Structure 1
Amino acid sequence: MNEQSRKLRVLINSSIFAAITAILAQFEIPLPLVPISGQTLAVGITATVLGSRQGATAMICYAAIGAVGIPVFAGFSGGLQVLAGPTGGYIVGFIAAAYITGFLLEKTTFTIPMALAANTLGMIIILIFGAVQLKFVAGLGWEGALNAGVYPFIAVGIIKAFLASWIGITIRKRLIQASLLSTSDKKSA
């Protein structure tokens, strides 16, 4: 495959997974400050399938599309005010989580047990980013930020980490078999 085709494939894969994240973001359970949504599931699937650089690129695309006002964030919201608001830290955390989750898988193996470990760490990273911004934007103390932005999401985060691992590894294997994703793609962005 020539370099131009490889770059096009990276762009297409990143765009598809940014779109998947936008779709899953609309599945939500409302809570007082921070809703439970499918966004974090999409982040885990993206990182598990694409790896570090492409996964982070997909999340950068997702955040950028939302930042310009296209309603791709939870509750069909968009705009810089969402990124600067109480839930914006989670969205920024998606980028770091996708990179670190993918990086851990690239340095070990793309298996469900390793993906579960990597996705669990990714969920923790998202919660940390989210709690920090929630604390400062909502004017909460650390205890309030943890009570509103971390503790309610631990159990569902573990479930999402498992689902992202299982779904992501399954999709990754199928895409490789169909020659739509190569194992060398994980090194490119």
Structure 2
Amino acid sequence: MTSTKLTALILASIFSAITAILAQIQFQAFIVPFSGQTLAVGLTATILGSKIGALAMFCYMLLGLIGIPVFAGFESGPHVLIGPTGGYIIGFIATAYITGKILEKTSFNMWMAIIANIVGMCVTLTFGVIQLKFIADLSWHAAIVSGALPFLIVGIIKAILASWIGIVVRRSLENAKLLPVNHSIKKAV
């Protein structure tokens, strides 16, 4: 295994653990709780990019699936993934990939990171609303009202935080030669 692949696996593991920790910062609202998971997804994608970010979220989901209590409220198991909130967790993989891909195709700067993280928020909410609608047997309107609308303002705040912290950490990791330098990074924030 090359050192680049090993570094990628280590970073994916670290960010899976960060997601598990931030998932425990939560409070119940409606059917779906507010938690730090989505902040962690945004941080992961902003720092690691599309492939390693998606791998980190896949690892996070897999850890919870096999019974390690990494989901919000120290939950785990297949019942969480097939339950009303499982779509959000499954969507984290797509969110990390799409958010990271937008940044890779444009530049890793604050403004692009905010845009990419807001798009990512919409991806997570879309996956979550779709599963919530079918599992909880809700109308589309009810699923959107309970599974997306309450999270928009907080989601935008998390997108800004993930962008700011993520760009700072990414630059530090690049300077430490733990991530390849993306030549499209603009130093002006």
TM-score (norm 2): 0.95
Q: Structure 1 counterpart of 2:91, which letter?
A: G
Offset at residue 91 of structure 1 (A)? 0.3
Query: What residue number does 1:82 align with?
Result: 80
- Structure 1 stretches of 4+ with a deviation exceeding 4 A read none
CA distance in structure 2 between the partners assigned to 1:183 and 1:30 by the alignment: 40
SS, match of residue 167 in structure 2:
helix
* Separation in structure 1 between the aligned mates of residue 181 and residue 19 of structure 2, nearest angstrom: 22
- Aligned residue in 1 for 2:59: 61
Q: Which residue of 1 aligns with 2:105?
A: 107
Give the corresponding residue for 1:129.
127
- Number of residue pairs aligned between Structure 1 and Structure 2: 182
Aligned twin of 2:4: 6
Equivalent residues in 2 for 1:30-69 (5 A)? Answer: 30-69=28-67
Normalised by the length of structure 1, the TM-score is 0.95
Give the structure with the higher percent helix. Answer: 1
Give, in whole Å, the separation in 2 of the partners of 1:5 and 1:101: 25
Identity of aligned residues (%): 60
What corresponds to 2:187 in structure 1?
Answer: none
Number of the residue aligned with 2:161:
163
Q: How far has the Cα of 1:160 moved from its partner?
A: 0.4
Distance in 2 of aligned mates of 1:168 and 1:175? 10
- Partners of 1:113 and 1:152 lie apart in 2 by 24
Q: 2:68 corresponds to which residue?
A: 70
Name which of 145, 148, 152 aligns with 1:147.
Answer: 145
Unaligned segments of structure 1, at least 5 residues = 185-189
User: What letter is aligned with 1:9?
Assistant: T
Q: 66, 87, 91: which is aligned to 1:93? A: 91
Partner Cα separation in structure 1 for residue 176 and residue 136 of structure 2: 47
- Please give the alpha-carbon distance, in whole angstroms, between the structure 1 residues aligned to 2:181 and 2:34: 33
- For residues 87-113 of structure 1, the C-alpha deviation after alignment (integer angstroms, 9 at most, x for no partner) is 000001100000000000000000000
Q: CA RMSD in A?
A: 0.9
Aligned equivalents of 2:150, 2:159: Cα separation in 1: 15
Unpaired runs of 5+ residues, structure 2, are 183-189
CA distance in 2, matches of 1:120, 1:12: 27
